Amino acid sequence: MQTLAQLLGRRHKSSSGKVAKERLRLVLAHDRANIPPGLLDTLKDEIIAVISRHIAIDADDVQVTFSQNAQESRLVADIPLATKNRRRKR
């Protein structure tokens, strides 16, 4: 019964309606803030350059994302430090 229910009731994970919603969410956020998606790459490169001058970071895993909801727009930079740096220096 459970299998049948899953078969009949399930919304396909990649249904195009869901995909449309997620794509729209992103594109509207960028349009509203007038931040073209390519700008985030530029920001990311410059952030990496600046921070690397002072701290060893894991440049490959740096993520700069933009999010927006009804209340606020937010630029989020996730910058992992290089592993060796996490040891305490003496």
Partner 1 sequence: MAQVLTITSGKGGVGKTTLTANLGVALAVQGQRVVIIDADVGLRNLDVMMGLENRIVYDLVDVIEGRCRLRQAMVRDRRVSELFLLPAAQTRDKSAVQPQDMVRICDDLQEQHDFILIDSPAGIEQGFRYAIAPADEIIIVTNPEVPAMRDADRVIGLIEAEGKGPARLVINRIKPEMVRRGEMLDIADVIELLAVDLVGIVPEDEGILTAANRGQPIAFSKDGSLVRQAFHNIASRLRGKDVPFLTLREKSVFERIFRFMRSGGN
Please, what is the minimum distance in Å from the beta carbon of residue 14 to partner 1?
Answer: 9
Q: What is the rounded distance in angstroms from the CA atom of residue 47 to the CA atom of residue 80?
A: 12
> Does residue number 54 form part of the binding site for partner 1 (CB under 8 A)?
no
> Does residue number 18 form part of the binding site for partner 1 (CB under 8 A)?
yes
Total residue count of the chain as it appears in this document: 90
Q: What is the rounded distance in angstroms from the CA atom of residue 49 to the CA atom of residue 64?
A: 14
* Cross-strand pairs, 76: 65
Q: Which of 3, 9, 76, 89 binds partner 1 (CB under 8 A)?
A: 9
> Does residue number 28 form part of the binding site for partner 1 (CB under 8 A)?
yes
- 27: alpha, beta or left, given left = phi > 0 and alpha = psi -120 to 50? alpha
> Does residue number 31 form part of the binding site for partner 1 (CB under 8 A)?
yes
Residues binding partner 1 (CB under 8 A): 1, 4-5, 8-9, 11-12, 15-18, 20-21, 23-25, 27-28, 31-32, 70
